[in-house]
Structure 1
Amino acid sequence: MQPISELGDELHRARTLVQEAERVVVLTGAGISTDSGIPDFRGPEGLWTKNPEAEKTATLSSYVADPELRKRNWQRLAEGSMWEGKSPNPGHRALVELERQGKLHTLITQNVDGLHRAAGTSEERLVEIHGTTSKVRCLTCGDLNPMASALERVRAGEADPPCLICGGILKSATISFGQNLVMEDLARSEQAAQECDLLLAVGSTLTVYPIANVVPIAHQAGARLVIVNADPTPFDGMATVVLPASISDALPVIVAS
């Protein structure tokens, strides 16, 4: 990562591209939330690096097969969400400003922390492609409810609360390993990539598929590509501008009108 003071020319080029664009699609990953105090998953301080059972919990087959794993997971959630007390940072707020300018076509996020929503990104512009921790879904009947209601039941003594409609297993409304994406969300994301004139990839390794496909889809449709990420990505060679900079520092500058 480089300080933005050393990236003057590239920062100016990225800002110019945003100013010239009319339909910007943004893809965000874990990197945009690290400045809000939310760790990534696989880095040295990552959630799964420090707690391997958390990764096991995020694997659908393990979650379904192991009631004790579910009970421990519910207890951890009831004791305090990893997102508790976390707030949007300047990177999240910069994307709200992009929407205010009328340039944001769609914001696709790989994050489940809800910080884009909390920052003020509107529902109709937001695709939470990996779901959200703010809700729980029944794996049998699909019933969807606020996470808070399930956690109240856990605190009242239900170690592994079942669905109140069908008795099925409840899980946070996130996409686990072994679980399909919501096809409507994926189709919406790919359509947005075909329609944009600029794709802004922020804080993502761009290695998680199928959503990483929006990058070549946008490129093939003629859109320009700006990547803001601390580390190299597989698509850096395709990008018009690559900024290995702090997202909280760089994004407010890039979207300034």
Structure 2
Amino acid sequence: MTDRSTTEQNPTGQDHAALDHAALDRAAELISGAQAVLVCAGAGMGVDSGLPDFRGDHGFWRAYPPYERLGLRFAELADPVHFVDDPELAWGFYGHRLDLYRRTEPHAGFAVLRSWGARVFTSNVDGQFQRAGFDHVAEVHGSIHRLQCVEPCTDDVWPADDVLVQVDPETMRAVGPLPACRACGGLARPNILMFGDWSWVPGPSQRALDELTAWRRSVRDLVVLELGAGVAVPTVRRQAELASAASGALIRVNPREPEVRHGRGVSLRMGAAAALAALDRLTTPARRTG
């Protein structure tokens, strides 16, 4: 296979980038020949849908300027202690994100993955895969679309479908009634694994992870497609490397950190939407019909 690396406009209309066509061809061959596709998705998957990039303090503050004025970083806000000490601050942050994720339409790459019949492992809590029509999504860090008790008084987890939190855009604090636990009537919080979180109820996430493990053991010729997963929080990368350890059939898509260890896999220095558009054109009709 010849090296056809060139510089050209990528499919998302972003700045010109060098595309490694040999790597794209190899990735498409892996996908076309696979019995099953496992997607391991990090935060970069949602960026192409217009979701904010929380990479570093400045990326977070670009998305939420009021927090820069307050001197608050993402890691400080994503701490469950605030639901006890300052619930209006905590729900201001998560209530705004809940509304944002509900309004965000998944980019076209999600439909490509569905056409391949892919299963999903993700660290994202935004629910974009479900919004795109996926039924089997293992959310290792939970979901903002589910609630639990702050205490918690029980292991009960329930949908946040009827939750609407009003947020003051100047202070980013919640105003008005806050979500309540349906068991004890106390404060509820998102069913998300936060930093230093000893109160998270892992039930729904663990059941989905167990189901994914059983599915992986039932398939052969598995290809793992890792999308937008960085090294800062390596949960998704570790899962992708574990799932592809036996075969080396790993495709790592990342515009900043695409390298694969020991050459075991294909490296694509691209964003998720651009890579999926390119791979969709190169894969066989049999794979595109799932």
User: Please, what TM-score do these two structures have when normalized by structure 1?
Assistant: 0.80
Q: Which residue of the partner structure matches residue 170 of structure 2?
A: none
Q: Which residue of the partner structure matches residue 206 of structure 2?
A: 183
Q: Which residue of the partner structure matches residue 136 of structure 1?
A: 147
Distance (whole Å) between structure 2 residues aligned to residue 144 and residue 248 of structure 1: 32
Q: Which residue of the partner structure matches residue 89 of structure 2?
A: 72
One-letter identity of the residue aligned with 1:226? I
Offset of residue 142 of structure 1: 3.0
Q: Counterpart of 1:12 in 2: which secondary structure?
A: helix
Offset of residue 253 of structure 1: 2.5
- Say whether the 8 Å CA contact 1:90–1:249 is kept in structure 2: no
**Aligned-CA RMSD value:** 3.1
Q: Counterpart of 2:182 in 1: which secondary structure?
A: coil
Superposed, 1:70-149 pairs within 5 Å as: 70-76=87-93, 78=95, 81-99=99-117, 104=118, 106-121=119-134, 123=135, 125-139=136-150, 140=152, 141-149=154-162
Distance (whole Å) between structure 1 residues aligned to residue 266 and residue 159 of structure 2: 40
Q: Which residue of the partner structure matches residue 199 of structure 1?
A: 224
Offset of residue 153 of structure 1: 9.3
Q: Deviations over 1:28-57 (max 9, x none)?
A: 011111111111222465336753354323
Q: Which residue of the partner structure matches residue 63 of structure 1?
A: 82
Structure 1's 28 and 82: CA in aligned 2 closer, same or farther, altered over 3 A? Answer: same
- Say whether the 8 Å CA contact 2:228–2:253 is kept in structure 1: yes
Offset of residue 243 of structure 1: 0.3
Q: Which residue of the partner structure matches residue 250 of structure 1?
A: 275
Distance (whole Å) between structure 1 residues aligned to residue 41 and residue 214 of structure 2: 17
Offset of residue 230 of structure 1: 0.7
Gapped runs of 5+ residues in structure 2? 1-6, 11-17, 168-173, 285-290
One-letter identity of the residue aligned with 1:59? D
Distance (whole Å) between structure 1 residues aligned to residue 166 and residue 53 of structure 2: 29
**Bigger shift: residues 208-217 or 226-235:** 208-217
**Among candidates 8, 11, 14, match of residue 24 of structure 2:** 11
Offset of residue 115 of structure 1: 1.2
Which of the pair has more CA radius of gyration? Answer: 2
One-letter identity of the residue aligned with 1:246? G
The alignment covers a number of residue pairs equal to: 245
Distance (whole Å) between structure 2 residues aligned to residue 10 and residue 126 of structure 1: 27
One-letter identity of the residue aligned with 1:111? N
Q: Counterpart of 2:163 in 1: which secondary structure?
A: helix
Residue identity over aligned pairs, in percent, reads 25
Offset of residue 25 of structure 1: 1.1
Higher helix share: 1
Offset of residue 171 of structure 1: 0.9
Distance (whole Å) between structure 2 residues aligned to residue 47 and residue 202 of structure 1: 20
User: Please, what TM-score do these two structures have when normalized by structure 2?
Assistant: 0.72
Q: Does 1:216 align with 2:236?
A: no
Distance (whole Å) between structure 1 residues aligned to residue 49 and residue 40 of structure 2: 18
Structure 1's 223 and 252: CA in aligned 2 closer, same or farther, altered over 3 A? Answer: same
Structure 1's 217 and 37: CA in aligned 2 closer, same or farther, altered over 3 A? Answer: same
Superposed, 1:166-181 pairs within 5 Å as: 166-179=184-197
